[in-house]
């Protein structure tokens, strides 16, 4: 896959340091097949008795950020369970990368769980920001936690999705965000998964690395998100800190070694640079995920961990991990 749009821009980013470069996440490439957009019904509409039985739909749901596009694959038999799939740092505005970088839709096509794939949120960490980013002219304040835990569930309830029988899974930026949202909204989520996430944001150098990564991915100012590094919001959103809140959740957490594997086939200078970047990204995630595994063990919290011997920070490896997590997801949500 292509991790960067312009080689020269990425090469210049090397001077910012290895730790910072390790957080620059891959750009999704490709075009998703879409259907006509459907306006969301009023939030006051009555709760539906069941979800549509199968099919793919795109809707726009009202939020504090304006209408948000959401791609949905409905549960095969109209069940009320849902799995939220979160994107990475470079989330696009036209489609959630799970729909075109992976075979996620095919994996769950015959299962009784709806896939909920919000679109947008580049560099957002799917959190509520303090203010718009003042470095890139952002005209709205990100309020993703509010959207994903209040406004979107309210809309989905009108389509037959339970507000309480949900799972959430994300990769990289979306991995740490998935655990955060599940930890603080236990009434909504029964399952949470981080794939190649960064799970110790208070580790030395991490806050500075996130700052540089977000500047690279859209020129976003991290101070507009959680404030300066000493702000309590950083601790509030650090999985290593809030880990006790995860007790009782069904958890699936993975990170690979960073060594190139079956899905890596670099070609040319750009390809080799991209693969090298993906290796560094995954190696950092592995270190943090291993530390998080020890943290949960000391707390006596059960979780399923998977550490493939080979694999880089790339979509096809996350596709593989989604397939591995699928039985646990279906069990947790009673969605077979």
Query: Whole-angstrom Cα distance, residue 193 to residue 324?
Result: 11
In order of 113, 130, 132, 189, 291, the CA distances from 234 in angstroms are 33, 12, 17, 22, 18
Query: Whole-angstrom Cα distance, residue 130 to residue 142?
Result: 8
In 3D space, the residue among 181, 232, 217, 209 whose CA is nearest the CA of residue 288 turns out to be: 209
In 3D space, the residue among 238, 75, 96 whose CA is nearest the CA of residue 170 turns out to be: 96
Tokens standing for residue 316: 């096809």
Whether 282 is catalytic: yes
Whether 313 is catalytic: yes
In 3D space, the residue among 181, 122, 147 whose CA is nearest the CA of residue 67 turns out to be: 147
Query: Whole-angstrom Cα distance, residue 138 to residue 133?
Result: 5
Classified as helix, coil or strand, 168 is strand
- Active-site residue, from 58, 282, 285, 319: 282
Tokens standing for residue 197: 């996430």
- Active-site residue, from 176, 285, 313, 319: 313
Query: Whole-angstrom Cα distance, residue 101 to residue 243?
Result: 30
Cβ atoms within 10 Å, residue 279: 21
- Active-site residue, from 172, 196, 224, 250: 172
Cβ atoms within 10 Å, residue 35: 11
- Which residues are designated catalytic? 172, 282, 313
């Amino acid at each position: 896959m292509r991790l960067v749009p312009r080689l020269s821009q990425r090469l210049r980013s090397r001077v910012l340091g290895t730790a910072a470069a390790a957080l620059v996440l891959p750009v999704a490439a490709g075009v998703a097949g879409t259907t006509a957009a459907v306006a969301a019904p009023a939030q006051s509409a009555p709760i539906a008795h069941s979800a549509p039985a199968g099919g793919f739909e795109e809707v726009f749901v009202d939020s504090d950020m304006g209408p948000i596009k959401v791609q949905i694959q409905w549960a095969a038999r109209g069940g009320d369970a849902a799995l939220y799939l979160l994107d990475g740092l470079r989330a696009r505005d036209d489609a959630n990368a799970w729909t075109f970088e992976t075979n996620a839709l095919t994996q769950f096509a015959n299962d009784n769980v709806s896939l909920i794939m919000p679109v947008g949120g580049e560099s957002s960490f799917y959190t509520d920001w303090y203010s718009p980013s003042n470095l890139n002219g952002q005209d709205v304040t990100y309020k993703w936690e509010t959207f994903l835990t209040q406004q979107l569930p309210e809309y989905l309830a009108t389509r037959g999705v339970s507000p309480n029988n949900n799972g959430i899974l994300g990769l990289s930026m979306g991995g740490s965000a998935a655990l955060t949202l599940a930890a603080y909204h236990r009434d909504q989520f029964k399952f949470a998964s981080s794939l190649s996430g960064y799970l110790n944001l208070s580790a030395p150098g991490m806050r500075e690395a996130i700052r540089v990564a977000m500047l690279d991915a859209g020129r976003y100012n991290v101070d507009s998100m959680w404030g300066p590094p000493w702000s309590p919001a950083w601790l509030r959103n650090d999985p290593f800190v809030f880990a006790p809140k995860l007790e009782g959740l069904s958890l699936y957490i993975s990170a690979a070694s960073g060594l190139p594997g079956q899905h890596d086939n670099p070609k040319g200078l750009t390809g080799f640079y991209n693969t090298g970047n993906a290796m560094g990204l995954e190696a950092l995630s592995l270190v943090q995920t291993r530390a998080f595994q020890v943290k949960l063990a000391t707390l006596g919290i059960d979780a399923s961990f998977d550490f493939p011997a080979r694999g880089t920070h790339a979509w096809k490896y996350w596709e593989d991990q989604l397939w591995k997590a699928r039985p646990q997801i279906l069990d947790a949500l009673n969605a077979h």
